[in-house]
Amino acid sequence: MLARILTACVLIPIVVVLVWWGPSLLLAAVAAIVALLALFEFFSLGERVGLGAFKKWTMLCAAGIFYAQYSQGSVERHPFGHGFSIVQVRAVGALSVDAIFLIFIFGAAAIVFSMRRPLHQSLQALAISAAGLVFIALPFSYLVRLDEISQTGRALILFTLVLIWAGDTFAYFTGKSIGRIPMAPAISPKKTWEGAVANVAGSVLVAVGFSFWLQIDVWTLIAIAVSANIAGQMGDLLESTYKRSANVKDSGALLPGHGGMLDRIDSLILASPVVWAAYQWLLTR
């Protein structure tokens, strides 16, 4: 616990300063590095169960996803007439996420043909490589898309981080003190329904506090927070499934008291796209 608290005391101020004052390009680059570290740990878990990925190619494409999400912030669309719009690209070499996935698909196919692995090994490598992009790199990259929302983007990133941090803290202490009903005993025996409810309650309190700062209707922000919190808990259980399959306690040992990078961002991975999508859907109507 002491190591966990000390690590958090060091990292949280750094993250907050980066999110609030860091240039957009630096924020995107740091997010990409974090995702690559988590992806490397994910592939290490896969190797423990005999699933070898196309590591270098997948991680290169994962970095490309973050660049694509960043470059979308340089694309401006101006409505013009009925059903027409003028698209202005302010950055050189802007890419879309669709393009990165197509590049990944054809590149992975070329690797399969050139390496001539046995069929079952090729299918396994394709499966875990694609899973790394779909379940880690792509959803986590929506932190970069949040940054592109004018005026409130940085505050929304902090909102996402804080609701996950607060929810995890509430869940931990509630589960330790009064947790009795197992939530998913086959996946994570220590998680309880009492802790899960406290997790949601923590995110609701964060939403109430942030509603005054963001000047957003409190019920709308609560709906976003609860949706993101549930998605975050799903991400936590999903990562527990990876570790349970590989028969390990932590995905790595990079962060003292917290385990690996994947252990630290497991909830953020699925919460980030939910905040982005819910904000777009609720706040533009």
> What is the distance, to the nearest Å, from the Cα of residue 256 to the centroid of all Cα atoms in its chain?
21
Mean pLDDT over the full length of the chain: 90
107 and 61 in contact (C-beta within 8 Å)?
A: yes
Closest CA to 75 of 55, 94, 93, 53: 94
157 and 19 in contact (C-beta within 8 Å)?
A: yes
What average pLDDT does this structure show over 88-110? 84
Residue 78: what pLDDT?
A: 46
What average pLDDT does this structure show over 223-234? 97
Burial class (CB in 10 A: 0-12, 13-18, 19+), 159: buried
Each residue's pLDDT tens digit, 235-246: 999 999 999 999
Residue 92: what pLDDT?
A: 59
pTM of the complete model? 0.90
Counts of helices then strands in the chain (DSSP H, E): 11, 4
**φ and ψ at residue 141, rounded to 5 degrees:** -65, -10
Please, which residues have CB within 8 angstroms of residue 19's CB and are 6 or more apart in sequence? 27, 154, 157, 158, 161
Q: Token digits for 73?
A: 């912030």
pLDDT of 198 strictly over 50: yes
pLDDT band at 91 (very low <50, low <70, confident <90, very high): low
Residue 89: what pLDDT?
A: 52
- Show me where the domains of the chain are located: 2-283
Residue 193 vs residue 87, higher pLDDT:
193
pLDDT of 266 strictly over 50: yes
Taking the C-alpha atoms of residue 183 and residue 236, their distance in angstroms, rounded to an integer, is 12
